[in-house]
Structure 1
């Protein structure tokens, strides 16, 4: 299906009003992007960050009246000096485009993450067949890769784990395929719970091997390993909950953390003796033993 996109260059203050106006004029989606190479890697708790220079793109059906929409925007936003640009968006099979660029990834000596629609490169390896759906976690992001690499090197036979912020289920399912006894998955997004269930079934795991819960419904039981690949702010805020679910002598594996945030996160977990920090690009993984 052909589409038109309307591009507006704006600033932090005007962006919310422009976003609302685009939706009012019939945009099927609105995307906000950095317009001046100003990365925002993690917002503060409860904050929705915007860049000082923000590029706003509205997506429309190809048969809309572009002149009428431009006039409507100018009338709704008289205080905003708008420079609007219409472009035809190339018609592609976007799902196919994404699938074609997701390739098998080796994470350590034993573990491969393989798209469910591709043949594993090593049939004898531990192959996790993955379709992330709408959830986070394919193994390509440094934080996920660091956690998978750590799991690959652990003796997991008979261990119990919590995968907090399970996303696609990639970490918990990897742990089960590597020998863990049971994993409890927890996520705030119902789509993540659905993706985790689907991926567990895709890897021929029993339904009770990885039960999944919203945080309010999750059981609070002691486990051997706590996995949490989320963000530094939530990791600090959730430290009491995550810490008390790890048995004495158990392990903690945290990621989603920038190198500059490592000390702050470790300080929130005083009951753990941490290993040397592992880093990939600007992201780090923290692992430790509960004393």
Structure 2
């Protein structure tokens, strides 16, 4: 049966759209449409919390005039609706991300097939693009890789295409876990293990590469844990936060002995690359 969603219609200064989207994403909103008046945000009905939404709006009242209205939408196949507007994307001229119903393009060195099913990580978001771009400059050959909060599994899939031979990916959401399993199969991944859970559920091992494209609050809490999964000489890349969070994220990583070696931003989103001495 098609999922039922709530639509929240937020009226606010468009300058605040990005940060409010990030906040909404942290409380379960899955997709957004920017309008001339502000934002439309969508969340599956069982996760909708009117009081939580109103609290977020109240928190921003001192920064921008903001109002919200919401309604429950008629059930429909949202994946089918979304697919109508889903176009392949290109990263750094070398990677093409497409859905299974798009024609292949052999002009690209790496082509990844992703059918999102509402999972985060189609490559369309700036943070996913940033991490993938950084992965191209990182030696994956014969390496091990841990993908934290993997969404569609796109980063781990790219890791295997780049030569990694032991990959673990996990996500707390069941639909994301199932989607990553499906996408790994579609891309012929032979070395990738996917499970549902958190870093606390991850069998403790060490990896050459740790990727975490999540959000600021989770990173600040869990970077010390990720460091214990990283081999000496290994690389950790984190994303999912804004430029103004770079200092806090860097400080947390440096507290556990990691060294910042690269950073890149795109439309105010940031990716940081650390090494473990």
TM-score of the superposed pair, with normalisation by structure 2? 0.77
Q: Cα distance 1:29–1:257, how it changes in 2: closer, same or farther (>3 A)?
A: closer
Q: Does 1:201 align with 2:214?
A: no
**Structure 1 residue 234: deviation in Å?**
0.6
| CA distance, structure 1, for counterparts of residue 211 and residue 117 of structure 2 | 21
RMSD: 2.4
| CA distance, structure 2, for counterparts of residue 192 and residue 238 of structure 1 | 20
SS in 2 for 1:122: coil
Hey, what does 1:57 align to over in structure 2? 70
Q: Cα distance 1:54–1:32, how it changes in 2: closer, same or farther (>3 A)?
A: farther
Hey, what does 1:212 align to over in structure 2? 195
| CA distance, structure 1, for counterparts of residue 197 and residue 261 of structure 2 | 30
| CA distance, structure 2, for counterparts of residue 156 and residue 60 of structure 1 | 44
SS in 2 for 1:205: coil
SS in 2 for 1:228: strand
**Structure 1 residue 230: deviation in Å?**
0.3
**Structure 1 residue 258: deviation in Å?**
0.3
- Residue from 136, 155, 158 that aligns with 1:171: 155
Q: Cα distance 1:95–1:196, how it changes in 2: closer, same or farther (>3 A)?
A: closer
| CA distance, structure 2, for counterparts of residue 281 and residue 60 of structure 1 | 31
**Structure 1 residue 124: deviation in Å?**
5.6
**Structure 1 residue 109: deviation in Å?**
4.5
Q: Cα distance 1:265–1:96, how it changes in 2: closer, same or farther (>3 A)?
A: same
| CA distance, structure 2, for counterparts of residue 214 and residue 92 of structure 1 | 28
Q: Which has the larger radius of gyration?
A: 1
- Residue from 98, 102, 114 that aligns with 2:86: 102
Q: Cα distance 1:282–1:123, how it changes in 2: closer, same or farther (>3 A)?
A: same
SS in 1 for 2:234: strand
- After TM superposition, the runs of 4+ consecutive aligned structure 1 residues lying more than 3 A away are 41-49, 91-97
Deviations 1:87-107, CA, capped at 9 Å, x for gaps: xxxx99754442132222222
Question: How many pairs are equivalent?
Answer: 234
Contact 1:222/1:244, CA 8 A, preserved across alignment: yes
| CA distance, structure 1, for counterparts of residue 6 and residue 56 of structure 2 | 14
Hey, what does 1:247 align to over in structure 2? 231
Unaligned runs of 5+ in 2: 28-51
Q: Does 1:284 align with 2:260?
A: no
Q: Which has the higher helix share?
A: 2
Contact 1:111/1:152, CA 8 A, preserved across alignment: no
Hey, what does 1:137 align to over in structure 2? 121
**Structure 1 residue 33: deviation in Å?**
3.1
**Structure 1 residue 199: deviation in Å?**
0.2
TM-score of the superposed pair, with normalisation by structure 1? 0.73
SS in 2 for 1:31: strand
| CA distance, structure 1, for counterparts of residue 107 and residue 193 of structure 2 | 24
